[in-house]
Amino acid sequence: MGMQRNLVAKLLKALSRAGVLDQVLLIGSWCASFYKPYFKNIDYSPRLMTRAIDFLLPRHPRFQQSVDLELLLRPLGFEIEFYGSGYMKLENPELIVEFLISEVGRPTDKPKAVPALHFNAQPLRHLHMLWRDPIRTMAAGVEIALPHPADYAIQKLIISSLRSKKDKAQKDREVAAEVLRALHLAGKSESVQHALRALSVREHKSALQELERLDLHFVT
């Protein structure tokens, strides 16, 4: 675990130096662990981080300079691996770096090419909401952007209802519940209401159902 954390620190520093971190949100299981400074006065300690570290690109990425991600991360032992219809991941024995992008319009299995990064990102549904109100925090000596915890938790609830694998859905619900409880304890429940208001009708309904199921309606 220590080795993995060191590698995450090196990865963040490398991406920050190349100007990539200014444009992306850190999401996924690692994001939950970086919320610790946000919840500094309460007991919040996410326990499960996976091997995958995910970054969310804006819908229309505009990088000031072109960065070859593979060249940038090769010194850290990362190599490109192609998946499915051509989207890429950067793999190392300790960590797998993924770049995701919000999918809008008709569903497609085609990857989204990001020429400025020499990379193909994976488009996924229900990610746009994570861009509503990002927060900034320090990690490994660099500034990173994270989705607002309320958006992160609500998004987890929405995708949990769409998962075909029950255990993955359960994991999403547990992560969401942990963040929502922390928001409630920190007296920031109104941010959950803001996050809910920004959703589409269908997403709103799905999020409310999940909150009801988890007995977390008090946060709304």
Q: Which residues bind other proteins (CB under 8 A)?
A: 48, 50-51, 77, 81, 91-94, 96, 165-168, 170-171, 174
Q: Return the closest-CA partner of residue 194 out of 161, 159, 147, 162.
A: 147
Tell me the Cα Rg of the chain: 17
- Minimum separation from the CB atom of position 171 to other proteins (A): 5
**96 versus 140: smaller Cβ distance to other proteins:** 96
**47 versus 194: smaller Cβ distance to other proteins:** 47
**76 versus 198: smaller Cβ distance to other proteins:** 76
- Minimum separation from the CB atom of position 152 to other proteins (A): 17
**133 versus 174: smaller Cβ distance to other proteins:** 174
Q: Return the closest-CA partner of residue 58 out of 127, 143, 140.
A: 127
**48 versus 104: smaller Cβ distance to other proteins:** 48
- Minimum separation from the CB atom of position 32 to other proteins (A): 13
**28 versus 102: smaller Cβ distance to other proteins:** 28
- Listing DSSP states for the chain in one string gives -HHHHHHHHHHHHHHHHTT-TTT-EEESHHHHHTTTTTTTTS--------SEEEEEEPSS---SS---HHHHHGGGT-EEEEETTTEEEEE-SS-EEEEEEE--SS---PPEEEGGGTEEEEEETT-GGGGSS-EEEEETTEEEEE--HHHHHHHHHHHHTT-SSHHHHHHHHHHHHHHHHHHHHTT-HHHHHHHHHTS-HHHHHHHHHHHHHTT-GGG-
**41 versus 164: smaller Cβ distance to other proteins:** 164
- Minimum separation from the CB atom of position 45 to other proteins (A): 15
CA distance linking residue 36 with residue 38, whole number of Å: 5
Locus of tokens 């996050």? 195
